Amino acid sequence: MSLPFFDHCAGDGSQLPIAMAHRGFSGEGLENSMAAFRAAVGLGYRYLETDVHATSDGVVLLFHDDTLDRLTDGRGKVSDLPAAEAAKVRIGGSEPIPRLDELLAELPDVRLNLDVKDWNSVASIAAVIEEHQVHDRVLVTSFSDRRRRAVLKRLSRPVAASAGVGSIALFTLLGPVLPRTVFQWLMRRILRDVHALQVPVRRGIVKVVTPASIRRAHALGLVVHVWTVNEPEEMHRLLELGVDGLVTDRADLLREVLVERGEWPHG
């Protein structure tokens, strides 16, 4: 993979599996807080998965839900709130909702997997990437292929990108039934601006991550990242299958697994 976002090598130059801390790392449920991001970095993580929403005046916040109600002492939709009011809200009653520009400045060595959660944030997230020139530090993803492409069209340089639900469904369902040449031709058109497939192990009764699906992805030059994997036995199993990265809530356990396997960059 040629884009700098994916450069994650051992001392001998071999590619290591990418470990992503899902919304940072917090045993107290303070997801997507600076405390959670700092904790993951403190464990040695170089990659953080996070979510983006924009306030009513276009400030990009790192927050998963459309509304404040589940995680904070505030109420209402993030997109209805001006940034000055959002700054008063606390995750778990204690941690402010971080802005993307704050995280980029405080943790300049991390790479960010940015899940664009709504249309309101498309222009704002592109503007932050352009202003801070962090094209090499971000991967843009969204459940919506249209929303992801809308961000990419606003950027002056390429960034890493992951496919949306529709593209991944076609890849998963058509792979076993189409002739290889036809499948590859079709997928190269559908996934023309995609570098990664970020997928669950399964969706309902459909197995998404299999040895065959990994081979098909790699044949197309795509990496496979699996979310959200929290059990060490499953981490080992997926790494043995050849996945290129894991997203986890248990950054501590994934670190232990990768250290045990000799695949942790910091020894």
The C-alpha atoms of residue 166 and residue 148 are separated, in whole angstroms, by 12
First vs last C-alpha separation in the chain? 24
Of 247, 254, 244, 267, whose CA–CA distance to 17 is shortest? 244
* 218 flagged as catalytic: no
Helices (H), the chain: 34-42, 83-86, 100-106, 122-132, 145-153, 165-174, 180-190, 211-219, 232-241, 251-260
The C-alpha atoms of residue 262 and residue 244 are separated, in whole angstroms, by 15
pLDDT value, residue 11: 86
Q: What is the mean pLDDT of residues 39-48?
A: 98
Read off the pLDDT of residues 139-189 as tens digits, 9 standing for 90 and up. Answer: 999 999 999 999 999 999 999 999 999 999 999 999 999 999 999 999 999
> Which of 8, 22, 218, 225 does the annotation list as catalytic?
22
> Which of 8, 64, 135, 218 does the annotation list as catalytic?
64
**Token digits of residue 27:** 């045993």
| pLDDT at position 1 over 60 | no
Q: What is the mean pLDDT of residues 31-54?
A: 98
The CATH classification of domain 4-161+228-260, taken from the options 1.10.10.10, 3.30.43.10, 3.20.20.190, 3.40.50.2300: 3.20.20.190
* 22 flagged as catalytic: yes
pLDDT value, residue 227: 98
Q: Give the model's confidence band at 2: pLDDT under 50 very low, under 70 low, under 90 confident, else very high.
A: confident
Domain ranges of the chain: 4-161+228-260
pLDDT value, residue 127: 98
Average of per-residue pLDDT values in the chain: 97
Read off the pLDDT of residues 60-98 as tens digits, 9 standing for 90 and up. Answer: 999 999 999 999 999 999 999 999 999 999 999 999 999
